[in-house]
Amino acid sequence: MQRCVDRVTSACLLSLISMSAWAYSPLNELPLGSRAAIKVEALQSQTQFQQTNNQSQLFPPASTLKIVTALAAKLELGDDFMFETKMEQVGKDVVVRFSGDPTLTTQDLKQLLSRLGNQGITRINGDLWLDNSAFTGYDRAVGWPWDILGVCYSAPASAISLDGNCVQASIYTQQDGKTRVYVPEHQPIYVTTVASSVSKIEQESTQCDLELLSSPDNHYQLQGCLQSRSKPLPLKFAVQDPALYTQRIVNTLLSQLNIELNGSIRLGAPKLQGKVIATHHSEALPKLLETMLKKSDNLIADNLTKTLGSRFFIQPGSFGNGTKAIKQILFTQTGIDIEHTPLADGSGLSRNNRFTSQNMAAVLRYIWQHDDELGLIALMPKSGTNGTLKYRRSMRKDPVKGELIAKSGSVYGSYNMAGYGLDKSGKPSTLFVQFIADYHPPKTKGDDKPTVAPITKFETLFYKDIVNFSQAIPKK
């Protein structure tokens, strides 16, 4: 194949195209039981360079779904969209109206509250309300597994969101066989540990792993075992109750700002509208989408999904109306029909999401065709260069490094990629979709020598082929 690609002719391209999917040798690197849907297609001519014969079969999209969410957000919300957090005075009360801003920080909230002092308000004679009415329904989508709810990539998608609904901490091993945990003093969460500090041999013989238990009141307990280590292990806890977390933060901020509160900090809002005292805006949509796509930020994706539901149906946003809005936006504005595609969220975290490779290819093609007005391709990670693809083993070296622009996605047993192969001038010339599901390679023993994972072997070969296809297309 390499010799053929080096000599770019129509005959060579036809020979590449004629390879049957079942005989595509990189697929042989995947373990038995795996399912794969792959597609490589020229953008200009729509020539099929490679595809399996299951393009309409449903696969878990994982975080490649963020491409779909990004497209819907661009089409419906527009580049000028920003999340808005407002503070109002209603009689004796003060109301902070949250909009689900996934980037709002404690410092942003402090600056908002400091405007009270600027207005000469040093005492709130009534209550301080935290308005959470922008969203409704579950903060976690159906299909999010219980065992990851304590970690930050599955932080709840809530109207009241602060600090990414994530708290950083660390755990230390001790010589007495115990562990201790450190949480910054200003963080209003409670963490305990009964985990044991053990040697590598003890850990492997007992199969005792570190486990995290969380409760709704933002209490976390670490248990099980942690291999003895010289440096602390960084931890990131998903805030289980963002409203409670924010209530405690606000109480601290009022004290720091010397603002007296006669009433209470309450959830909800009085029925009357008030006088706007101050407003905080997030960055505009393109910057939010760049962070979402490059860092695969689930909270941005899911809060945008709920916002789409709210804007499209003129009601509080939810996972239900948000995913329905995404489907209707795509159909009415692009003609892509995913009405019967099972979607539970906009981030791809739910195990209940399903997508076909042909529909993902249609989304990629639409984005490329309208790149001048959408500008989405530039926001996606580049192979071996930035974002989630910077350190991917199958993309770190030539000829793949810097030659693909794509979004990765993985959930249990799934390893996906969707994006574009670049021509020699650095412009997209092909689109490609990789959906791998039911990937469960045999486990290696601890004393075995390091081996290259089957998925890495497959991807290395597949991505090299994409680069070859993309750069072998003659310019018209």
Q: Active-site positions?
A: 63, 66, 296
Beta bridge partners of 222: 193, 212
Dihedral sign, CA of 52, 57, 63, 67?
positive
Closest CA to 129 of 187, 90, 157: 90
Work out the number of other CB atoms within 10 angstroms of the CB of residue 257.
14
Rounded (10°) CA dihedral 339, 341, 342, 345 = -80
CA distance 200 to 212: 20
- Sign of the C-alpha dihedral computed for residues 188, 194, 198 and 200 taken in this order: negative
SS3 432: strand
| Amino acid at residue number 100 | G
Helix (H) or strand (E) holding 171: strand 166-173
Instruction: Give DSSP secondary structure letters for 181-249.
Output: EE--TTS--EEEE-PEEE-HHHHHHHT--EEEEEETTTEEEEEEEEE--SSPEEEEEEPS-HHHHHHHH
Rounded Cα distance, 167 and 32, in Å: 40
